[in-house]
Structure 1
Amino acid sequence: MSTLTLAMRDSATMTRRQLKRLLRYPSMTVQLIITPVILLLLFVYVLGGTLGNGLGNGSGGGRDAYINYIVPGILLMAAATAATGTAVMVATDMTEGIVARFRTMRISRASVLTGHVVGSVIQQLLGMAVVIAIALAIGFRPNATALEWLAAAGLLTLFIIAVTWLAVALGLRSPTPESASNAPMPLILLPFLGSGFVPTDSMPTAIRWFADYQPFTPIMETVRGLLLGTHIGNDAAIATAWCAGIAVLSYLWAKRTYNKA
């Protein structure tokens, strides 16, 4: 059996371990899903009428327009929130000695991290599906074709992979699970400091500059354009570049940290 085959087999085993952990302790999964859902309901039903009237651009205004606008930001927030759980699980494995035990076994070293990543990606995709289902139930009305849905799903998956590898690296660098739970916190704030909840042209100049050039904004604008038919421009290329760059750099950071631990 080749080295690659063994690595794939070990990675599959570690992925099953992560999925069984998620099934055995569902409270974290529920918490990571319910947080963006609560924010979705809060913004739509409490603030949606007022914020929707300020969107302009022929959106029609009101709560119906705002729920269409806000869903891409909520989806990215869901992934950023789930990154917290990933970082905590990685830090827990590192501090409780399970990784040291794995290193005494004849398994691929890379499979431990790969299992965390694949398990988290599956968890986040299911979480996003729940968020989209609830959004559709309360009035989200995309007009995307099947191909546009597929493109949006592909970009979101690439984003999840990037955020997950970053969370793994942060978890490896954290001395305790408690500190790991705080490390991804800035990711949760980025949709607010971008075009996730209001257009960036409504922001003060300094904040608008940051909002326009931070990585979450082109991703949200691309997903919004694919699902709702708004203008995308070069946001798709920028979003893909951001996701790929974050994924590669985070993977290299995580690999180096794990090998030195």
Structure 2
Amino acid sequence: MALSNSLSAQLRSSALTAVRGATWRNNLRLMRNSASLVSALVIPGMSMLAFWVVFGHAASGSGFDYALFLMAAAMFQAVMFTAGGSAMALAVDVESGLLARVRAMPVHVLSVIMGRMICDLIRSILSLCTVIALGLLCGAEPASWSGLALAFLVALAMGEVLVLVFSGLALRSRQPVQMAGLIQGVELPLLMVSTAFIPLSTLPDRLEPLIAHMPFSPMIDTNRALLNGETPGDSGWEALVWLTGGLVLGAWWVSRTFRRSV
């Protein structure tokens, strides 16, 4: 019994050491990659600022808090870019053979995945703090600090689900790096055909059903409702369905294709 307990403790310690090592490596890699830092800290905020400069004055004339409207979109864009960058980093590790070498070591595959996701969580936190600070400087007025905090946490959860989905898609491909590049290429166009930057009511009637129910729209609208101190309602339930499906599918893809790819 004592031997079994000792062995279990050693295994737990080894797993924690592996997770810490993977997290440290991924964070160090992020800090050395200027493109990833720009994607995390600059692009979402710059997109929000560009739309606010162009449309903010006109919206404020009608009493519309466009800065707050954009903040929800920028928060989602921040975690979405994090997920795309994560898929690319994992794809590079797969094609370089690094993960194959790691698998040959006495390290559980889950440790590598957990290290990757912890690094993504840290990046998302930094990116979200940047866009929130910029949004507040632009005049955004959340209904309450508790609503802002809840929107922050919900955005982090969305980001981790997107990490699993995007990474799973890359790993299922025979050419993971090319697939990850494709994901990064279509992220922004898909965001543009959502409710991220323009209210749904201003769109043509024939496009409203398509745009209202594409996955990004209910997620953004959920955070937007939280920032406004409102109940997410139907958009919240729809976002939950999309996120639950993404969590299940992404986790299954990563667990199955990770082993096959490496």
Q: TM-score, normalised by structure 2?
A: 0.87
CA change 1:170–1:184 in 2 (3 A) is farther
Give the corresponding residue for 1:162.
161
Alignment counterpart, residue 28 of structure 1, candidates 36, 57, 79: 36
The letter for the 2-side match of 1:234 is D
The offset of 1:156, in angstroms, is 1.0
2:192 counterpart SS class: coil
Structure 2: distance between partners of 1:82 and 1:252: 20
Structure 2: give runs of 5+ residues left out of the alignment. Answer: 1-6
Amino acid at match of 1:7: A
Q: State whether structure 2 residue 68 is matched by structure 1 residue 60.
A: no
Return closer, same or farther for 1:201/1:150 CA change in 2, 3 Å cut-off: same
Aligned to 1:177: 177
Q: Distance in 2 between matches of 1:4 and 1:208?
A: 51
CA distance in structure 2 between the partners assigned to 1:127 and 1:197 by the alignment: 19
Counterpart position of 1:127: 127
Structure 1 residues 31 and 216: alpha-carbon distance in aligned structure 2, compared to 1, 3 A threshold = closer
Query: What's the CA shift for 1:252?
Result: 0.6
Q: CA deviation at 1:51?
A: 5.2
Distance in structure 2 (CA, Å) of the matches to 1:37 and 1:210: 27
Q: Secondary structure at the match of 2:128?
A: helix
> In the superposition, relative to structure 1, how do residues 82 and 7 fare at CA in structure 2: closer, same or farther (>3 Å)?
same
Cα pair 1:18 1:119 within 8 Å, conserved: yes
1:36-185 pair list within 5 angstroms: 36-50=44-58, 60-61=63-64, 65-146=65-146, 148-174=147-173, 175=175, 177-185=177-185
Further displaced range: 150-159 or 90-99: 150-159
Matched, 1:257 2:260: no
Q: Deviations for 1:67-100, whole angstroms, at most 9, x for unmatched residues?
A: 1211101111122222221121111101111111
**Contact (CA 8 Å) 1:121, 1:164: kept in 2 or not?**
no
Consecutive aligned runs of 4 or more in structure 1 exceeding 6 Å deviation: none
Q: Deviations over 1:220-254 (max 9, x none)?
A: 22211111224532322322232222122111111
Aligned residues: CA RMSD? 2.1
Alpha carbons 2:83, 2:160 under 8 Å: kept: no
Alpha-carbon distance in structure 2 between the residues aligned to 1:198 and 1:231: 20
Between the aligned residues of both structures, percent identity stands at: 26
| Separation in structure 1 between the aligned mates of residue 81 and residue 149 of structure 2, nearest angstrom | 23
8 Å Cα contact 1:80/1:188 also seen in 2:
no
Match of 1:56 in 2: none
Q: What CA distance in whole angstroms lies between the structure 2 residues aligned with 1:101 and 1:134?
A: 42
Q: CA 1:217/1:43 → structure 2, altered by over 3 Å: closer, same or farther?
A: same
Against the structure 1 CA distance between its residues 98 and 52, is the aligned structure 2 distance closer, same or farther, given a 3 Å change threshold? Answer: same
Distance 1:226 1:234 in 2: 13
1:104 maps to a residue whose letter is A
Partner secondary structure for residue 196 of structure 2: coil
Q: For residues 135 and 189 of structure 1, what CA distance do their matches in structure 2 show?
A: 22
Q: TM-score normalized by structure 1?
A: 0.87
Question: Separation in 1 of the partners of 2:247 and 2:16?
Answer: 20
**CA–CA distance in 2 between the matches of 1:156 and 1:31?**
17
Which one-letter code corresponds to 2:63 in the other structure? G
CA distance in 2, matches of 1:240, 1:4: 33
Any gaps of 5 or more consecutive residues in structure 1? 54-58
Contact 2:40/2:81 (CA < 8 Å) preserved in 1?
yes
Match of 1:18 in 2: 26
- Which whole-Å CA distance do the structure 1 matches of 2:50 and 2:149 have between them? 28
